[in-house]
Amino acid sequence: MERHGSSDRKTVSSGNDVSRSRASSSTSARKGRLCFCHARTILLTVKHGDNAGRQFWRCPFWMTPQKCDMFKWADEEDEAQPDVAALAL
Point out which residues pair with 31 in neighbouring strands: none
Of the pLDDT bands very low, low, confident and very high (cuts 50, 70, 90), residue 26 is very low
Global confidence as pTM: 0.53
At residue 49, does pLDDT exceed 70? Answer: yes
Non-local CB neighbours of 72 within 8 Å, separated by 6+ positions: 41, 56, 57, 84, 87, 89
In contact, 43 and 20? CB cutoff 8 Å: yes
pLDDT at 13: 39
Query: 15 in a domain, yes or no?
Result: yes
Residue type, 21: S
More confident residue, 87 or 23: 87
Say yes or no to pLDDT of 20 above 60. Answer: no
Residue 70, domain member (yes or no) = yes
Instruction: Provide the residue range defining the domain that includes 55.
Output: 2-75
Please answer whether residues 21 and 32 qualify as being in contact, where contact means their C-beta atoms are separated by less than 8 angstroms. no
pLDDT at 78: 63
- Within a domain: residue 42? yes
82 is a domain residue = no
- Residue 22's pLDDT is 43
Evaluate whether residue 84 is within a structural domain. no
How many domains does one find in the chain?
1
In a domain, 87, yes or no: no
Domain-embedded: residue 83? no
